[in-house]
Amino acid sequence: MSSKQFFNEVAGDWDAMRAGFYSEGVREKALDRAGVRAGQLAADLGAGTGFVTEGLLRRGLRVVAVDQSEAMLAKMRTKFAGAADRIDYRKGEAEELPLADQSVEHVFANMYLHHVGDPGRAIIEMARVLKPGGRLTITDVFEHPFEFLKTEHHDRWLGFRREALEEWLTAAGLHEVAVDDLGEECRVRPEGGGETALMNIFVASGRR
Ligand SMILES: C[S@@+](CC[C@H](N)C(=O)[O-])C[C@H]1O[C@@H](n2cnc3c(N)ncnc32)[C@H](O)[C@@H]1O
């Protein structure tokens, strides 16, 4: 099964699954760090069912929600029907984002980078769509040893090292690059039981 098929299949259950994995604290800390302001336009990459989008809408932003999965975007459309005029839904892939150059003030990517084939290329795409002065804010997990996530959750990468993230953001031409521990955790139980995987979440940010 491909990653796209996996996320199409779990779209209906994703909100409950997500709540078991990590809390709203991840989103709120990421939005605080980015310094979002009402009226701005943000891209939510790997938007899923709109975990980050929900926070952005509450803070008065408009959102371009991008995901490879039709089912995830369909679920989002139903959830946010009342905010249809503030969300632009686009089906697209990490390595070729369906967004124009320099078109948004913020890019957010929560728990998305560990699913993409080429994270360095994906970060170059994120930087491409930022307006000058715009901010990239990636939240994901630091490197970990939990191999079962590759088979059970279609993760491609077992998290990331701080040094690799710093290199990718810098190579993408971003300034004020910083990678910090967000002070939040991601917890996932293996299907067959056993020890719960506990992963520390980072926030990686930079300005174009
Ligand atoms: C773990 S979910 C996170 C969803 C959401 N950001 C959240 O925090 O709830 C990862 C999402 O990224 C999408 N995704 C994975 N790989 C992708 C790719 N290469 N291009 C576009 N979207 C991708 C999946 O379809 C899925 O909706």
What is the mean pLDDT of the segment spanning 165-192? Answer: 97
User: CA 185, CA 86: separation in Å to the nearest integer?
Assistant: 30
**Does ligand 1 lie within 6 Å of residue 69's CB atom?**
yes
% of residues, the chain, pLDDT over 90:
97
- Burial zone of 81 (CB within 10 Å; 0-12 exposed, 13-18 middle, 19+ buried): exposed
| Cβ(131)–Cβ(179) below 8 Å | no
Q: So what's the pLDDT on residue 20? A: 96
* Residue 19, pLDDT score: 97
How many whole angstroms from 45 Cα to the centroid of ligand 1?
A: 7
- Can you say whether the dihedral through the CA atoms of 13, 89, 57, 133 is positive or negative? positive
Whether the predicted pLDDT of 1 surpasses 90: no
Q: What is the mean pLDDT of the chain?
A: 97
Looking at residues 177-203, what average pLDDT do you find? 96
- Say what the pLDDT of residue 61 is: 98
What is the tens place of the pLDDT at every residue in 161-177? 999 999 999 999 999 99
Q: Is 1 exposed, middle or buried (0-12, 13-18, 19+ CB in 10 A)?
A: exposed
CB-based contacts of 87, cutoff 8 Å, min separation 6: 50, 53, 57, 62, 63, 64, 65, 76, 80
Handedness of CA 48, 116, 45, 201 (dihedral sign): positive
Contacts of 194 (CB under 8 A, 6+ apart): none
Assess whether the C-beta atom of 68 lies below 6 angstroms from ligand 1.
yes
Q: What is the pLDDT of residues 127-158, one digit of tens each?
A: 999 999 999 999 999 999 999 999 999 999 99
Ligand 1 centroid to residue 66 C-alpha, Å: 9
For ligand 1, atom 9: residue with the closest CA:
51
65-95 pLDDT, tens digit each: 999 999 999 999 999 999 999 999 999 999 9
pLDDT in tens, 98-114: 999 999 999 999 999 99
Please calculate the CA angle 99-100-103 and round it to the nearest 5 degrees. 95
What percentage of the chain exceeds 70 in pLDDT?
Answer: 100
192 pLDDT above the threshold of 90: no
Beta strands in 28-129 (DSSP E): 41-45, 62-67, 87-91, 104-110
Q: What is the pLDDT of residue 194?
A: 87
Average pLDDT over residues 49-55: 98
Question: What does the block give as tokens for 126?
Answer: 């994120």
Check if the beta carbon of residue 19 is closer than 8 Å to that of residue 45. no
- Ligand 1 within 6 A of CB of 153: no
Q: Which residue's C-alpha comes closest to atom 11 of ligand 1?
A: 46
- Residue 2 confidence (pLDDT) above 90: no
Show the beta-strand stretches assigned E in the chain.
41-45, 62-67, 87-91, 104-110, 130-141, 175-188, 197-207
Protein residue whose Cα sits closest to atom 1 of ligand 1: 111
